[in-house]
Amino acid sequence: MKKKLIFISSLFAVCMMSFAFTIIQQPKPWPVPAKDAKIANPVKSNAESLSAGKSLWSLHCVSCHGKKGLGDGSKAAQLKTTPQDMTLASFQSQTDGALYYKISEGRDDMPSFKKKIPDAEDIWNLVNYVRTLKK
């Protein structure tokens, strides 16, 4: 009986330890100022724009957001905030202006990209590409 008790409590301890030292990821709503959300995308979503957007996506975004925007990039597990699944309608329903704002300003784990991508047209190209991730 004693042996059984020790065995069960050890098993329980091991199970608890199996998710010790992990960071609890929380989804976190991200409000965007109304004036930024209303800004219209001046760049047409043509082949050239999408190609430029895809290059920027691969270079700057894939490591956290994953290749398809699912939030499963190689660095994603280390983040405190869960990257949202970009394929879902709940993500895609936000305006181009809101996406532009988020890329430009960043928040917490997500860096601000306005210095790394100083040309507005490039960020709009990235917004156009992000739209193609929709399922």
Partner 1 sequence: MKKHNSYSSLIPGFARGCLLIVLCSGFGNLMAQDTTAKKSTVAADTTAAAPVVKKKSYVKDTFEGNLLIDDQTVMVPIKGTFAFEIQHRFGTVQHGFSDAFGLFATATMRLGFNYVPVNNLQIGLGASNEKMEVDGNLKYALLKQTKNGSMPVSVTYYGNALMDTRKQDNTTTLFVNTSDRFSFYNEIIIARKFNDKFALQISPGYSHFNNLAGYLDANGKVQPTWNNDQFGIGLGGRLQVSDGMSLIANYDQPLTQNPAQNPRPNISFGIDMRTSGHDFQIFIGNYSSLMPENNMLYNQNNYRKGEFLIGFNISRLWNF
- Tell me the Ramachandran region of residue 43: left when phi exceeds 0, alpha when psi lies from -120 to 50, beta otherwise: beta
Is 108 near partner 1 (CB under 8 A)?
no
* Number of residues located near partner 1, criterion CB under 8 A: 24
Residues 7-36 that bind partner 1 (CB under 8 A): 35-36
Is 43 near partner 1 (CB under 8 A)?
yes
Exactly one of 17, 26, 42, 89 binds partner 1 (CB under 8 A); which one?
A: 42
Is 76 near partner 1 (CB under 8 A)?
no
> What is the rounded CA–CA span in Å between residue 24 and residue 91?
22
Q: Which stretch binds partner 1 (CB under 8 A): 6-14, 15-23, 24-32, 120-128?
A: 120-128
> What is the rounded CA–CA span in Å between residue 61 and residue 116?
12
Q: Sign of torsion, CA 18 19 22 27?
A: positive
